[in-house]
Structure 1
Amino acid sequence: VCPNIFKINFLILLSVFMHGHYGYVQMLCHASISQNFEFTFSVNYNKFEYLRYNSTEKKVVGYTEFGEKWAEDYNMILLAKGDLPVCYLQYVKIKSLSGCSVNQKAMLVCSAYDFYPKPIKLTWMRDDKEVTTDVTSTEELADGDWYYQIHSHLEYFPKPGEKISCVVEHASSHKPMIYHWDPSLPESERSKIILGAVGLLMGVFIAGGGLIYYKRKHTGWYSCSVLEINHYK
């Protein structure tokens, strides 16, 4: 027995079946006086150890065919978490949530997606001056995959020729990142307008054709082809 080692043993009985079949999970925590901790986690079934995790080695080892498969999958998850970038920001997007009439209040939203670590700051600038009123922001929202997203809303009365920007400060960049709002329609919106116009014209043509057909039908005006049959004696 090692007096310098304090060991905690948790034994969790998973299930008990007929004919003596049973499974359990065993968790061990070793703590030494030098403050070195080691955690082990093992899954056992029918007197066989299927797999074991060791915090010192930081990997899972499988001891059966199924255990090896589980260990392989779990180690890939651990590896993916270990490869997580220290500082990362995928992209920032500004879009309008309302109209841009001069006499009507408009709203913009600046969104930052898939960033890590969590701390981030979004600031609105209007003609190179910080906007401190009519600004609301969400908290950093977890995506569930170790990344975060955040959204900041700005309400304002549009003015011709003004410049609106969203400044993002995050550890992924050594200096603030500035994103300017472009009120012109993006290509996708222009495509939607063009497709809508084409659809409207097609609707007009179809309606016009239907009206012509209706007029012909009710005025006795018919168009037909004549088949001539020649009889020879």
Structure 2
Amino acid sequence: MTGIYVLVAAVLLCAPPAGGYTYQMMYDCEYGSNTTEMVFFVKNVFNQKLNTMYDSRVGKYVGYGEYGMINANHFNSQRWKMFLRRAQVEILCRYNARLFRRSTLDRKVPPIVKVHQTKPADYGERSMLECRVLGFFPQEVKVRWLRDGEEVTSDVSSTDVMANGDWSFQLHSYLELTLRRGERVTCLVDHSSLMNSLEVDWDPTPLDTKHLKKSVGIIFFFIGFAAAAAGGAYYRWKRRSDFSPLGRQGQTPPSDLSEF
């Protein structure tokens, strides 16, 4: 049996005045990798000395010392008490052991993973990415960084696994790097709640959007500048050549003016 101990019920304690007596009764359940090998103890302690103990493996009380042996024989003669002790192996020990396993050993909560840039930086500049691994249980987790599918081991740092206070944990991992356009940067998380490794890519869309807006602004600036220059050139050319048909129709030939 492996050393798993669960104190499922305790302690009946009578605290006497100075110079008096102290009596304690403790329930103790011990089991291994499964609850079938359950051992139930009821320990009666008098003045910090073990007096009697019920052991489910022998199904009766065992006394220690003369006073303890007298009490053990008395407890063993009480049919209701022996029936209760046998029932407590199931209703007290195994019930609480199953509850403990569901809430701890067998509980699996997958992590929520988010990757973001910690400070503004452009392509070609040094920056840092953070991989936030949140809300997972149990606490054992492994986080790795990939760049275009190749694992990165340098310039990587991580916090300790931190408890959230609600039976879940979190961890933060950091990768310092020079940003490159078109490169795939991935946070890879392994946890017992996951069938396969969870891969979350850094999304460079905000950075690409900023570049796209800048490029579109420059393009529209040059288009507007070219349109303005073309309009100005056309206006100057028109004034010099007087190419308008209406202007020509309003002119009178000199030969007609001489007849009047």
Q: Normalised by the size of structure 2, how large is the TM-score?
A: 0.44
Please state which structure has a larger fraction of its residues in helix.
Answer: 2
Please state which structure has a larger fraction of its residues in strand.
Answer: 1
Q: Normalised by the size of structure 1, how large is the TM-score?
A: 0.49
